[in-house]
Amino acid sequence: MLLGTGSSVGKSTLTAALCRIFYNEGYKVAPFKAQNMALNSFVTKDGKEMGRAQVVQAEAAGIEPRVEMNPILMKPITNIGSQIILNGKVYKNLTACEYYLEKDFLKAIVMNAYKVLSSQYELVFIEGAGGCAEINLRDKDIVNMGFAEMIDAPVILVGDIDKGGVFASLYGSVMLLGPDDRKRIQGFIINKFRGDKNLLIPGIKMLEEKIGIPCLGIVPYVDLNIDEEDSLTSKFEGKKGKGIHIGIIKLPHISNFSDFTPLEMEEDINLSYITSKGQIEDVDLLIIPGTKSTIEDMHFIYEKGIHKDIYQKYESGAYILGICGGYQMLGKEIVDPNQMESSHNIINGLGLLNVKTIITKEKSMQQVQGKVISKNGLLKNLENQKLWGYEIHMGKTQFIGKTIPAIELENGTVGGIISSCGKILGTYLHGIFENDIFRREILNHIRKEKNLEILEKEIDYKKEREKEYEKLASVVSKNLDLKKIKEILEL
């Protein structure tokens, strides 16, 4: 089990690295995280929702993602409450206090899921959540030391030196734990190091003496292009390139920002995240992403004045794409009669597409296939092109005026529409940019308009992602004491 001194210290990435390292050695490996709080999620082939980090780890382990790898997913709706997903299906909305009252029930859920994995795989690498020394929650814990105790797992502690204060955070985490919990820690890893390792050695030796736990490695900072699980990701810093400028509105409840990982692999893309008015003047493609709280984030767009910029971009002829919640926002109206996602019942959308969305109690979760059925504007060279994606939304979108279907799904339903001017596209398909030809042709359409070099050969996103996993495994294996880790694993 990998636990951290805090959030975003690299637990997810190191777990993925170990999955790939031992997968490459021929072991049957699976990842596990009992409880995940994230808005970046995925839908499995059997229509169940799970955290994106465990999807990445499953891919690194060479296996298909399954909900047993993440039996509890918490999707924040407000500052005090979340939608709870159990075994891939919506359970109910709970405040933190209400959630902890169901500890015994939830404990059984995570144990059953873990038992399924541990019976089918030789190695299970378990990721903790946040910091391991949340002493106010220890008696309620089912994801950190509490879970380690439940299954009697050895623990490796991860600290992030990039943030500063790594020695204090490692020492403090260990010292705040009870004696039995401390005994579980078999070693610690210093992650995201930049510079000369020799400068760290004196501090490491002092720390080892003080806590009686060995250092298992110093992992350097690695620039990787793989999905991350939560809003603490550094991906929101954007990507600098000299070509097409894509602006993504960073909504307060932004979800499934992994949709844009494939765009970051394009060399000439300048990708920026928009948080206020006046930041989208030179944007060629404006994207309104998915959100867990569509109405609340629509309020955000109005309060920040971003809607005025959107209208200006529309009038100037820029392209606008809405995905999931962003698609709903492009419509005329969003209604939440049962207040499933907001304390507000209704709000006007941007009015750029002739649709209206009603937030429902039922959640649509499915992988889908379809094809482009329009050659209008942005889709000029894509008619009949096959598409793959997945849907996660609580809302039914109705057509309330003239609409042009853009994407037809295999079940005969419309998966997206485009405006008559061909500049505005709305779709429910997450993962749409993972379709290599679709991504290439849309970007080439914009490149041509900007007199930029046209790229004839698309980037193979799946192959590039595999290269990233191998790169990660190579760096981590060279900088960890794998012999000691194998001893911990009793291999």
Tell which residue, 391, 412, 353, 378, has the closest CA to residue 284. Answer: 378
**Tell me, what amino acid is at 293?**
S
Q: What angle (nearest 5°) sits at the alpha carbon of residue 208, between those of residues 203 and 214?
A: 120
Residues classed as catalytic: 324, 430
Tracing tokens 């500052």 back to the chain, one arrives at: 79
> What is the helix (H) or strand (E) element at residue 449, kind and residue range?
helix 436-449
**R_g of the chain computed on alpha carbons:** 23
Tracing tokens 């979760």 back to the chain, one arrives at: 365
Tell which residue, 403, 393, 399, has the closest CA to residue 326. Answer: 393
If you ran DSSP here, which 8-state letter would residue 430 be given? Answer: B
Return d(Cα 269, Cα 46) in angstroms, integer: 34
If you ran DSSP here, which 8-state letter would residue 68 be given? Answer: G
Are 15 and 128 in contact by the 8 Å Cβ rule? The answer is no
The token pair at 14 is 């190191």
Residue 88, Ramachandran bin (φ over 0: left; ψ between -120 and 50: alpha; else beta): left
> What is the helix (H) or strand (E) element at residue 472, kind and residue range?
helix 461-479
Tell which residue, 153, 265, 187, has the closest CA to residue 14. Answer: 187
Are 106 and 146 in contact by the 8 Å Cβ rule? The answer is no
> What is the helix (H) or strand (E) element at residue 409, kind and residue range?
strand 404-409
> What is the helix (H) or strand (E) element at residue 288, kind and residue range?
strand 285-288
Give the residues across from 370 on adjacent strands: 387, 409
